[in-house]
Structure 1
Amino acid sequence: METEMAAESADQAEVFAFLGDPATHGLREPVIRIDTHGASVFLAGDDVYKVKRAVRFPFMDFSTLEKRRLACEAEIEANRRNAPDLYLGVIPISRESNHLRLGKGSEIIEWAVHLRRFDENRTLDRLAAQGPLEPKIAAQFGEMVAAAHCKAPVFRDRNATATLRAQIIETGRGLADAGDVFPAEAAARLQGAMLGAFDDVEPLLLRREEAGDVRRCHGDLHLRNIVMIGDAPVLFDALEFDEKLAICDRLYDLAFLLMDFWTRGHFSEANLTMNRYLSASDSLEAQLSGLKALPVFLSLRAAIRARVATLEPSPSPETIASARLLFAAAGDFLAFEAPRLVAIGGRSGTGKTQLARRLAASIGRPPGAVHLRSDVARKRMFRVSELERLPQEAYQPEASVPVYSRLYALAALTLKTGQSVVIDAAFFKESERADAEVATGAGGAFLGLWLDAPLQARLQRVSARHGDASDAGPQVALAQEDVSLGEINWVRVDAAQPPERVAQAALAVLQKPGA
């Protein structure tokens, strides 16, 4: 395989030298070249030219000029939906009187995708390598992917579930073929575990396919294929070489991004992305029930990424080490972890939502717990956006009954999938706290946390709020001082401390044996 790849790449050497020459583009500064296993990309001033490498893999075939032309056209089609300002078109590279030129000539010898250049240092893999991402940015990713899936074409007749099974088998074989990187017995065990997990969720996946959750997705949704342009994330470089792989379950598409975050150690970002995706989804219950398939989705994404890393002609020691870490993660994603429900209650301004977000990534299996929030559930029930204020009548006791019922129903649905849940709500009534514990009847352990903070601290916090789903201001916080709470048998946490200290105290409770 490597000899064939090297020979085919040599045929493109003239084209690559041409595109890498600043004079081709009328530049003085150097042209930057970036190689992947399937393409060579040339950054030239304000332009980018992407040429498919003349390679053939089991999952990708760019071995002829015509196949590369079709792949370039498919890439434009696949990406203009999410990045119309970046993708400019397909451009031929021609030979004319013994020299090459961009554009049509007497002999077209190659094709390239022409893009508008962006700041390559603003791709998410590079930003993530610098440290944690701001929660606001991470939240945008989930909303962006949900919006992309909402407008993506639906396919009910492409046998996407069968294709997924075939991917597991093919990936397992590929891992076994790379015996110098992955132990053969371990590769066989991983494939068996993935197939077992797949068989368990196959009926669910078939129902999702019939219901419209299989769509023409991005297909290659990892951090390197997201770029921040201004303050907004933009999806680019969607999978173009095989529609069978790109037409998939929407949660399988999302799983690539979650896996990439998680295996890089960005656990909070993975969890927040998942939760914002669910919150922004056009079918919350359907996506919550689909979480049952998330372990096999995450595992397969990690296994495929591990296998692809070994397909480079001469993978570096760093690449091999990364592949082995992804291989190990593929197995870890399938490990069972009992789900649990954590409920966080307290008066307005005690920091319930902030604590829930900080804890969620540490609760249950990857990528952590589903965060259900009463403020958001209430807004959904009244069919308004999260930031639109509701009238006072929406907060009367009788109006809160269906809100809590909704939270418990969503929690029970999620727990049945094996995913953990954290609910943040006031929980002023003893009956509300008791009903929260009943929700774990679907399976899993329960822990209730009650946050206490003095009035002055709470008033300062609610006064400083902006851009939040909560409508509670200082008047509400004052009025809550007189609310009778009854007996509170949940674990009480001092919420007057800085948020980091509150989270540490709550985590200590979570990690206690039997908690």
Structure 2
Amino acid sequence: MNDDQDAVFAFLAEPPTHGLSEPVRRIDTNAAAVFLAGPDVYKVKRAVRFPFMDLSTLEKRRAVCEAEIAVNRPYAPSLYRGVVPVTRAPDGGLSLGGDGTPVEWAVHLARFDETMTLDHVAERGELTPALLKALAAAVTDGMARAEPRDGAAATEALAGVVDETAQSLVDHPEVFEPEAARAFAAAIHDAFAALRPLLLDRGARGYVRRCHGDLHLRNIALIDDKPVLFDAIEFDESIATVDILYDLAFLLMDLWERDLQAEANTVLNRCLWTSPSLDDDLAGLAALPLFLALRAAVRAKIEALRFATVDHDRQARDDARRYFDHARAFLEPVAPRLIAVGGHSGTGKTTLSRHIAHRIGRPVGAVHLRSDIERKRLMGVDELERLPASAYEIDVTVRVFAALREQAGKALAAGQSVIVDAVHNTPEERALIADVAARHGVAFAGLWLFAPVDILVDRIEHRTGDASDATPAVVLLQADQLSGEIDWTPLDASRGFDETAAAALRCIAAPTATG
């Protein structure tokens, strides 16, 4: 940091600069000094040069400030107000946004409650289902608006990230066990080589875009009770020009690493449910282990560098090893399996599926395919919009179940386990979904939930905010229909939910469970 920045930082830290009487809070990072002043925030880039970022001149810092505004306004228009100069008057005094000669530039933001970034929200146990739904919607909306870029160039750039990250881990034997680091380097190189054709194909199809680039919980805030993405990568287009699934993988990895596996699974499935390109997204899940592992490995590398350069901070070393352990686990092969959850309306099929999905298969758990969601997708309506009776005629239901089977097959082929959540009331429907598992050579378990009709009716009467259009009349009609011989594992859904879930997991884990 040069003398001019010393003076600027001291100036911005003074309450009178901002017309305040209360103290200004300062937060320092490797690349910026941030000043929280009443309702305003001013972020000044440090005069530093790293291999991945050059902020060494005033003009370069101005350009990066302007890029930060341009990149982040689409995500958070209410936060990013503009770039303002810190100027020096002829008498030598400094002014914020004055008419003198600019000596520094600052990104001006509206201040929000710093305790409402999602890392803090998660630590308080407040990532509710409603918030996770809104989070997934914010992420998918940002991805939909992101500009497509050169997929081939991005794939080659990602190859460089794999090479550099793997070598960095090997180069820190004081942090990572050398044999484990070399084994991981070989594994991630093999994974990338195997997936290169898929990545190039996805790039050609428009799934490489100018993304957020730094999508983790600390860079998402609750503002007016809505999750808002901010602090996207602005200093290097190549870091943020990635496959949209790689961008999402950072958020999924962050949740998983924080022991929020169910939340990670919910976000993934919520993103899939609202995807306009579900088939391609399901096929793209073949790359998810690589993307998760690389995101964790990059974090491990950064923490190892911090250990090496910041007085051998033990916490940095511990963090590096934890991320490395996750990176290795993400690449571990896990055989996919297909789970079908059936039963009449109100038996708790969806609740059970959500509860167990993150525990099935490889990270971040099973793809949860739900007939109620798929029916709404086919009809082109929001999941909470009620459908007319015509949407439940036999020809529509046949299309819904055919789509579920096709989607399950795509996810299984990509290596991801699947839960198909639907009534499955006829022997034919049950046989057809079991056949999907047989065709893909994966284990299958069929779970049949049942409960007394009066309990089912009561549950339906009290259900709110759900995609199901079932009514008590539907429950009574289902009860009068013949389901045929049911060879799936019966589970009493009238018992305590934890007991039902535990029984389901035992059935799924049983080596002989085939339905």
- TM-score when normalising by structure 1: 0.95
- Single out whichever of 145-154 and 494-503 deviates more from structure 2: 494-503
Of 463, 478, 499, the match for 2:497: 499
The total of aligned residue pairs comes to 508
Residues 324/54 of structure 1: CA separation in 2 closer, same or farther (3 Å cut) = farther
In the alignment, is residue 328 of structure 1 matched against residue 325 of structure 2?
A: yes
SS of residue in 2 equivalent to 1:159:
helix
Q: 1: distance between equivalents of 2:170 and 2:2?
A: 26
User: What's the counterpart of residue 141 of structure 2?
Assistant: 147
SS of residue in 1 equivalent to 2:359:
coil
Q: 2: distance between equivalents of 1:158 and 1:100?
A: 48
Q: How does 1:43-442 map to 2 (within 5 A)?
A: 43-96=36-89, 97-131=91-125, 133-156=127-150, 159-312=153-306, 313-314=309-310, 316-440=313-437, 441-442=439-440
User: What's the counterpart of residue 512 of structure 1?
Assistant: 510
The one-letter amino acid paired with 2:423 is A
Q: 2: distance between equivalents of 1:64 and 1:176?
A: 34
Work out whether residues 370 and 419 of structure 1, in 8 Å CA contact, stay in contact via their aligned partners in 2: yes
In the TM superposition, what is the alpha-carbon distance from 1:390 to its structure 2 partner? 1.7
Q: How does 1:20-35 map to 2 (within 5 A)?
A: 20-35=13-28
Residues 23/177 of structure 1: CA separation in 2 closer, same or farther (3 Å cut) = farther
SS of residue in 2 equivalent to 1:361:
helix
SS of residue in 2 equivalent to 1:126:
helix
In the alignment, is residue 469 of structure 1 matched against residue 463 of structure 2?
A: no
Q: Tell me the alpha carbon deviations over residues 258-315 of structure 1, each in whole angstroms, 9 at most, x when there is no partner.
A: 0000000000110000011111112111111100001110111111112223444526
In the TM superposition, what is the alpha-carbon distance from 1:56 to its structure 2 partner? 2.4
Gaps of 5+ in 1: 1-7
Residues 67/46 of structure 1: CA separation in 2 closer, same or farther (3 Å cut) = same
Gaps of 5+ in 2: none
Work out whether residues 302 and 326 of structure 1, in 8 Å CA contact, stay in contact via their aligned partners in 2: yes
- Single out whichever of 428-437 and 62-71 deviates more from structure 2: 62-71
Residues 71/98 of structure 1: CA separation in 2 closer, same or farther (3 Å cut) = same
Q: 1: distance between equivalents of 2:151 and 2:446?
A: 45
SS of residue in 2 equivalent to 1:467:
coil
In the TM superposition, what is the alpha-carbon distance from 1:11 to its structure 2 partner? 6.2
Q: 2: distance between equivalents of 1:88 and 1:309?
A: 32
Residues 414/9 of structure 1: CA separation in 2 closer, same or farther (3 Å cut) = farther
The one-letter amino acid paired with 1:304 is V
In the TM superposition, what is the alpha-carbon distance from 1:383 to its structure 2 partner? 2.1
The one-letter amino acid paired with 2:334 is E
Work out whether residues 151 and 208 of structure 2, in 8 Å CA contact, stay in contact via their aligned partners in 1: no
In the TM superposition, what is the alpha-carbon distance from 1:199 to its structure 2 partner? 0.7
In the TM superposition, what is the alpha-carbon distance from 1:75 to its structure 2 partner? 0.6
In the TM superposition, what is the alpha-carbon distance from 1:27 to its structure 2 partner? 1.9
In the TM superposition, what is the alpha-carbon distance from 1:174 to its structure 2 partner? 2.7
User: What's the counterpart of residue 487 of structure 2?
Assistant: 489
Q: 2: distance between equivalents of 1:113 and 1:506?
A: 53
In the TM superposition, what is the alpha-carbon distance from 1:60 to its structure 2 partner? 2.1
- Single out whichever of 86-95 and 261-270 deviates more from structure 2: 86-95
CA RMSD between the two structures? 1.7
Work out whether residues 169 and 176 of structure 2, in 8 Å CA contact, stay in contact via their aligned partners in 1: yes
Work out whether residues 9 and 53 of structure 1, in 8 Å CA contact, stay in contact via their aligned partners in 2: no
The one-letter amino acid paired with 2:508 is L
In the TM superposition, what is the alpha-carbon distance from 1:224 to its structure 2 partner? 0.3
Q: 2: distance between equivalents of 1:248 and 1:452?
A: 46
User: What's the counterpart of residue 453 of structure 2?
Assistant: 455
SS of residue in 1 equivalent to 2:501:
helix
Work out whether residues 153 and 215 of structure 1, in 8 Å CA contact, stay in contact via their aligned partners in 2: yes
Work out whether residues 132 and 266 of structure 1, in 8 Å CA contact, stay in contact via their aligned partners in 2: no
Q: Tell me the alpha carbon deviations over residues 376-427 of structure 1, each in whole angstroms, 9 at most, x when there is no partner.
A: 1111222222122222222233331121111010000100000110010000
- TM-score when normalising by structure 2: 0.95
In the TM superposition, what is the alpha-carbon distance from 1:157 to its structure 2 partner? 5.8
